[in-house]
């Protein structure tokens, strides 16, 4: 299963990559800190799963990325991971097609279990 990581913080990208690269059958297909690169790379690499932050470095945002990548066929599973876990963002992300929505502070460890479950469901 190929996973693409998108976050505005290098330390978060590193933590995510370390956390999920230890799962057998998972490959980190790529990572970026900005919306433009995220969209281009996701379209090109066609990962199965995208872990996506709402706020990004280039003035773009994860909701723009989410909206665009959900137009792909097939669309990747989108896991939103954010420091902005407010209900209005959750609702907007769900409306745009997010499959999961996690708080970076409280829920980051849930990413591991979620990826393992997605991998098991794929088999």
pLDDT of residue 82: 93
The tens digit of pLDDT for each residue in 43-83 reads: 999 999 999 999 998 778 999 999 999 999 999 999 999 99
Query: Mean pLDDT, to the nearest integer, of 90-106?
Result: 96
Q: What is the pLDDT of residue 57?
A: 81
Q: What pLDDT is recorded for position 59?
A: 77
Domain boundaries, the chain: 2-115
Query: pLDDT digits over 28-37, tens only?
Result: 999 999 999 9
Sequence-distant contacts of 15-20: CB under 8 A, at least 24 apart: 15/108, 16/51, 16/81, 16/108, 16/111, 19/111, 19/112, 20/111, 20/112, 20/115
CATH-assigned architecture of domain 2-115: 3-Layer(aba) Sandwich (3.40)
């Amino acid at each position: 299963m190929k996973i693409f990581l998108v976050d505005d913080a290098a330390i978060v990208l590193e933590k995510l990559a370390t956390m999920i690269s230890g799962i057998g059958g998972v490959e980190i297909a790529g990572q970026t800190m900005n919306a433009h690169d995220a969209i281009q790379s996701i379209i090109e690499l066609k990962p199965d799963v995208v872990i996506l932050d709402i706020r990004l470095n280039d003035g773009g945002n994860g909701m723009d990325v989410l909206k665009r990548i959900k137009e792909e066929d097939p669309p990747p599973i989108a896991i939103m991971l954010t420091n902005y876990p407010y209900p209005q963002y959750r609702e907007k992300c769900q409306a745009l097609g997010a499959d999961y929505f996690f708080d970076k502070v409280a829920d980051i460890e849930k990413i591991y279990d979620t990826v393992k479950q997605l991998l098991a469901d794929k088999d």
